[in-house]
Every structure is written in structure tokens, then in C-alpha cells.
Chains A and B, each alone.
Chain A
Amino acid sequence: MNNFGKLKIKMTQEEQDILRGLQGSTMQKIMKTVVLYGEALGAERLVDIEGDGHLVICIAIPGTGPSLDLLDELITADLKTKYPFTLDPKAPLDFENLSLKPEQEKILMEMYKEQSRYDESMLRLGLRDTDAYTCNPYLPEVGNIPKRGTILAWSESACAIFANSVLGARTNRNGAIMDLLLNIIGKTPLVGLLTDEGRRATWLVQVKTSKLPYPALLGAAIGRKVMADVPFIVGLDRFLGSKLNANTIDYLHEMGAACATFGAVGLYHVENITPEAIDHGTDLLLPDHETYVIDGQALQKLQASYPVLWADNQAKPEKCFIGCPHLSMGQLYWWANKIYEALKVRSKSHLEVQTIICAAPQVLEKFKADELVYERLTRAGVNFSITCPLALFDNDLSAGEAIITNSNKLRAYTTARFFPDEELVGILVNGEIKGGR
């Protein structure tokens, strides 16, 4: 595929000129990368990106983001993205909030020794501002909210699927590094989820549970089944009502994050709720679609299949992370109320498990302004962080620790154990896992 004369993708004169090196060797290399990417995906041509980006590459750990050499090459060529971008959460260096062991802090300091240089590089390449770090960028407090139909080149699997499904914007699931290169050149391959045909559903997913399923389990089940296809989900409006509201948006955000973790789903439609499903209904289903029925038993079985990867399976939970993906304001208040009520019922003032709740800087700033609720939680032993809990596991000192979470995504990538929200509240207050599992 490296013989450019044989490529099927059509290029404009400007794109061909860049590929020949008329805008410099770095732009030439970017265009080469983007054109090969488009060809591999079967794109007819490239199209212009129309809005702000959201990129997954946020931390200076090799393997998680681009190398500093690559960033330096882009900066030396005086390049930046066509539109500003937001990034995934900040590196886990706010130690005062994370209750780490000294040796863990030392390792993280070493791992992230280039982080400030990295952050500075991203600002020079187009990062919107020094607080534009979260995996929930479309919250009103953060404000990276693309309009329906806008062509984007986003990454972060949880964000790309949300932008497509709930906001109705159009992006493919781009990987780290490719996302930056696409947003610099301002073009993305016209293929897949950018096209009307690519947004049609190949699966009918019938949710036949007796109550609203836990979103991170439902999403995991859907992702595993449909893998990279587009599901049209029916049965959720029985519990969520029709159309979008704040609670539904939070639910779909968590469900989508799991869909994208356990599969490669970049878009889902939910009958009577998501914008394209409201407009087109079951006409979105392709005639030869497959059907997947989910009931409560299937979800219970799925949860029971998750292995315990702690060093000591019988250990008491030591630490809990909530907020992967980052919580919204509504979710922060849900946790605040649940924890307060659960402690009150048991006549306790403090949680038994060190708990860290993660959210965007702008969201936490607003939440902290509600001093009564904020102080009530901090007195109960809750810490707040703007980081990504996943990043804390990027060293072998955290592997196997007795960490619990409500995030199926965090569980998938680490040794943390997963419990749905209500069950987790009980564990936090009692300090023990029911049944000693």
C-alpha cells in the first residue's frame, strides 16, 4: 500500500501538493500518514474537520501518547491544530488527593518527569487552555459540545461514541497520535461513521430486563456482542423515558464507555432517545440486521464472570475510585447524597474505604462552591481528583492492590474489582464485600 500512485483514495490538488512536500517535510509526513489511513479504511476522499477536537493523548508515558520527539518535530515545524482541542484527564500527580504509598509517589514522579514539558507542548499544538483536561468534555461546565452533524476527528473511545450517539456529531474512532495528526492537517477520511450509510444499525438490541440495567454492564454486553457494529437499542425508554435529560445523558455516557471498552462501538442509537433514533426510528436498521436479546440473567452472568485479580482475593477493600469516566455535576450529587444517607443510617461519620472521586477541574470547582455538601463528603473521608484513575495503574506497584470501583472500564484495564453503584455504597460504608467474595 506504500505505492502512492496505486492508491484508490482521491486527493485534491492541495493534498497532492502537501504529499509532494510543498508545505515542508513534516506536513508531507502527516499527509502520508493520513492518506494511508484513509486508504486502509476504504475512504473515497478526505473531508475538512469542522470543530474543536478531543484527544486521548494526555500524559507523557510512552505507549499512552506520542513521544516527545514527535511533538517536538511538530512544534519545530510551527504546526498546530486547526481548531482548539480538549484532552483526557491530567496525569496522576495531585498526590494530596490520591492517598498513595511513598514508593508509588516516587515511581509516578519518575514516570511523569516529562509531564510539564508535555503539557506545554500540547498547549503550543492547540490545547484550549491549561484546565482543558477531562474525559467528559461535553459537560456544560467544560463546554466542548459539538453541534449535530459536525465533522470531527476525536479519540478517547468514551468521547467519540458519546459525540456520535448522543450529540449526533460525526467522528470515527481515531487512535492516539493519529488524532493529533488529523486535527493538525484539518482533514479526516470520509468513511464509516462520517457517512449516512455507516451510521445505519446492523444490530437490533432488545433490552428485556425488569429494571433499568446497570449501564456499565449493559454497555459491556452490547460491546462484546456487536464489536465494531452499530446497535439500535430498544427497551431503554421504558425506564429512561423519551428524549434526553441530564440523568439519561449520564446513563448513556457510562453505557457508551463500556460499549467502547468491550467492543469497538463508535455509535449506538437508542429508540425514542438519541437524536437520529428520534428522527428516523427503526428505519436506521439495515434490512439484514442481526438481533441480540439481553435479559437480567445474562447481565448477572456477565458480572459473575469477572475474575478477581487482587494479590489476596480475600482482602478487605483498601481504596475506591469513582469517576471513570469523569463524573457530571448530577452524578457528584448522587454520590454525595447516597454516601451521606448510608452513613446516617449506620450512625457513622466516616467511610471504611478510602474513596477518591474524579471529575473535570471545572466541575469540581463548581461542586466545591457548595460548601455544605463538599465538606460533608470530605469529612466522610472522600477525596476529589482531576486525574484519570486508570493512569494510577501504569506501574506495577498498584497491580493487585485491593481497589474497588464502579467503573467496568477501569476494571477491564486494571486489577480493580467492579461493583455497581448501590452495592459499592454498601461496601464503602461497611468496609467489607458482601459474602466475603
Chain B
Amino acid sequence: MSRAFKGRAILPGNVEGEALVTSMGFNTYASFYMSMHTHTETAECSDSGNQDLYGKNMTNKIICLPKTIGSTSGGAVWQRVAQMGIAPKAMLFSQKIDSLAAGGLIVADVWMGKRIYAVDELGNNFLEHVKNGDWIRVREDGTITIL
């Protein structure tokens, strides 16, 4: 049975994909660190502090998270991974988007023309329901459906 959640579309669009879920803060710089610097074709999470995601492929996934954490270098990471073609399709935040994610995703969109769709304020209920591997539909009005 599908279940829908309504959030705020920060970078709106229509996309579908497979969920990759973390209940912990997503450390952007640590997660993409190895992929960026070793020029891999897909991005495996290199944040050993994130037991939910460490070693998992993030490319073209829809990452479901509370918010991002860590170094402010993380802002530039979004531009880079979007350029390299190893970015997730979308970032779905249960909480209000944080300044690092907002800044990085918006810069990638405005300056590089690379949109990673972003929806925030989906609520804790969303993170409790969504599971790794769920197929997710994102709509431009911020509606998220777990199919």
C-alpha cells in the first residue's frame, strides 16, 4: 500500500527512484570524500561514522535523511558530485533543510544547471516509514509517495 507525505519543495521537480535511508545526520563531505578524490563512477558512502550508509552506493538514489551535518566544505561537494554524474537524484529531509545543504544544492542548480531535487519538512513520520529499497515518487509540489 502506498503512502504519501507532503513537504516543502526547495528545488522542485518530478522524479522517481530507490530510497536510501539514514536516521543520522548526513555528513556530506565525509560521505562523498573518497568518491570525489578517487574519481569513481558511483559514490559509495565513505563516512565511517554513519552506520546506516557506510559503503552503500548513493548515486541516483533518493536519500532520505533528517538533515546534513559536518564541514562547511560540504557546500561545494554538491556542485562537484553533480558535475561528476555521481549525485543522488533527490534529497528528502524530514526536518527543515540546513544551511549547508540549502546553499550547496542551490549553487549547483543556479551556477551549474545541475538540479538535485530537494524537499524538506517531511516530518519524523516519513523517516519512520521509509525503508532502504522503497520506490519513491517525488512531485514538484513537494508530495512524496512511497510506492
Residues of A bordering B, CB below 8 Å: 1-2, 29, 32-33, 36-37, 40-42, 56-57, 61-67, 70, 155-157, 160, 172-179, 181, 192, 223, 227-228, 260-264, 307, 309, 394-396, 399, 412-413
Contact = CB atoms under 8 A, between A and B. Distances in A.
B125 interface: no
Contacts of B70: 157, 260-262, 264, 412
A263 B25 contact: yes
A40 B12 contact: no
Contacts of A57: 73, 76
Interface of B: 9-12, 25, 27, 29-30, 32-34, 36-38, 48-49, 66-77, 79-81, 83, 96-100, 102-104, 106-107, 110-111, 120
Nearest to A398: B37
Contacts of A412: 27, 30, 49, 70
B103 A309 contact: no
14 contacts: A63-B32, A63-B76, A157-B70, A160-B72, A175-B73, A175-B103, A177-B104, A177-B111, A178-B106, A179-B72, A179-B75, A192-B99, A228-B25, A399-B34
Contacts of A174: 72, 75, 99-100, 103
A62 B83 contact: yes
A37 B78 CA distance: 15
A225 to B, nearest CB: 11
A37 B103 contact: yes
Given A37-B102, A63-B37, 11 more contacts: A61-B37, A62-B80, A67-B79, A70-B111, A175-B72, A175-B75, A175-B99, A176-B104, A178-B106, A260-B70, A395-B37
B12 A65 contact: no
A228 B72 contact: no
Contacts of A172: 99
Given A63-B81, A227-B25, A261-B70, A175 B76 contact: yes
A390 to B, nearest CB: 9
B27 to A, nearest CB: 8
A40 B97 contact: yes
B34 A178 contact: no
Contact of A264 (B49, B80, B100): B100
What are the 6 A-B residue pairs with the smallest beta carbon separation, nearest first?
Answer: A175-B75, A63-B80, A178-B103, A176-B76, A155-B72, A40-B102
Contacts of A178: 75, 103-104, 106-107
Contact of B69 (A2, A40, A62, A228): A228
Contacts of B73: 56-57, 64, 175-176
A53 B98 CA distance: 21
A33 B71 contact: no
Nearest to B38: A396
Contact of B74 (A42, A66, A175, A181): A175
A173 B100 CA distance: 7
A41 B121 CA distance: 11
A413 B67 contact: no
Contacts of B67: 227-228, 264
Nearest to A56: B72
B99 A413 contact: no
Contacts of B98: 173, 228, 264
A157 B110 contact: no
